[in-house]
Structure 1
């Protein structure tokens, strides 16, 4: 399992519209092969800042299966116009200690 972590900055005044759009777009990502779960968190200290965490079975399920799909084009259409600046996506794996 890998964890996709994305810090999102939504344009000022668009937060409510973004949350509604994200709820709708969630249907897209949750239908993808290798998808496990996702969680969107709103920052308390900074308005318009969100943290998106998505669990995937493998890195390729996200980077190839989702990112190179027609469904991703719809995801982009629904959500990417809300972001400024465009977010950086990072991937993490669990450390067994």
Structure 2
């Protein structure tokens, strides 16, 4: 399992519109092969800041399967105009401490 983590900064005054658009766009990402789950969290201290966490079965499910798909173009059209600056996407894996 791979965790995609993204800090999103939404343009001032667009938070409600963004949350509504994200809810609609969630149908796109959740339909993708290799998708496990996702959640969007709103920052308490910083207005307009969100944390997106998406679980994928493999890194390639996100970087190739989703990012190179026609569905990603729709995702991008629905959401990318809200961000300033454009977010940095990072991927994480569980540390086996045993």
- TM-score, structure 1 as length reference: 1.00
Q: CA RMSD in A?
A: 0.2
Structure 1 stretches of at least 4 aligned residues deviating more than 4 Å after TM superposition: none
Matched residues, number:
97
Query: Using the alignment, how far apart are the partners of 2:44 and 2:91 within structure 1?
Result: 24
How do 1:8-87 and structure 2 match up within 5 A? 8-87=8-87
Gaps of 5+ in 2: none
Query: Using the alignment, how far apart are the partners of 2:30 and 2:74 within structure 1?
Result: 13
- Give, in angstroms, the shift of residue 96 of structure 1: 1.1
Gaps of 5+ in 1: none
Query: Using the alignment, how far apart are the partners of 1:39 and 1:73 within structure 2?
Result: 20
- TM-score, structure 2 as length reference: 0.99
